[in-house]
Structure 1
Amino acid sequence: MHDTLIFHMCRRDEWTAAQASGSYAGSSQDLADGFIHFSTGLQLEVSAAKHRRGQDGLVLLTVDSAKLGTALKWEASREGALFPHLYGELPADAVERVDDLPLGPDGRHVFPASLNIGHNDGDPLPEQPAGRNPLSE
């Protein structure tokens, strides 16, 4: 059982290069922001629609956050919700699976049904400061 699975969308060619080098430095937006943007399963559909809608040739990286150590920070972002941000490169061996993200007819990405994206799948969330629950913010 994983502590928490988190997700990142990137271009297929970026991931291919990361596999060859052993780590992923992030997209141009990630590099500009100084961290790699991730989402939880509950946040992913909205993040995809807001930041990647209509973009073809993407893959979804499913990452075991327990393998990222202290470089992974949970920080307030959209509407105060806590999002996982990785300050450093993503080791290729932290990626549990890679899925193509085809576009549906409405321009939204179609997520693999086996991931149960958008639903709380029972995986526990990381410990948060007292009184903070990313699912209720």
Structure 2
Amino acid sequence: MSKIYKILSLGEWNAARAAGRFTGSAVDVADGYIHFSAADQAQETAARYFTGQADLVLLTVEADLLGAALKWEASRGGALFPHLYRPLEIHEVSAERPLPLGADGAPALGELPA
């Protein structure tokens, strides 16, 4: 199974857990889908969009379990990114962990399984 990753604030994650589903961050709602990254894309996403933001969480999701609502679509530079066209159910999250900021101010993801 392939893993995909979502970076979000601890506040967003706590609200999602309380609701039983994650309907997306502001950018997700505006775009009409939940943005994810593959393992080889997540660190660049973290640096580009989350530098300097504390209290972040990294979610791990098994892509194969999301069905037809998960689409791999071209984004920056033509790379295919996973986009989920429905809410993410909390039980679909296989792992979660806090994301500390590295010395450069970007979230430090470390090695991520693909």
TM-score, scaled to structure 2: 0.95
**Counterpart in the other structure of 2:87:** 89
What is the letter of the counterpart of residue 96 of structure 2?
A: V
RMSD: 1.1
Picking from 48, 51, 75, the partner of 2:49 is 51
Q: CA deviation at 1:67?
A: 1.9
Q: Which has the larger radius of gyration?
A: 1
Q: State the alpha-carbon separation in 1 of the partners of residues 13 and 87 from structure 2.
A: 12
Equivalenced residue count is 114
Once residues 108 and 17 of structure 1 are traced to their aligned partners in structure 2, the CA distance between those partners, rounded to angstroms, is 24
Alignment of 1:26 onto 2:27: no
Counting aligned pairs with the same residue, the percent is 47
Moved over 3 A (4+): none
The structure whose RCO (Cα within 8 Å, separation 6+) is larger is 2
- Aligned equivalents of 1:66, 1:94: Cα separation in 2: 11
Give the equivalent residue in structure 1 for 2:7. 9
Once residues 54 and 41 of structure 1 are traced to their aligned partners in structure 2, the CA distance between those partners, rounded to angstroms, is 21
Superposed displacement of residue 53, structure 1:
1.1
Q: Deviations over 1:64-116 (max 9, x none)?
A: 112211110000001101000000100111101101001112101112x4xx2
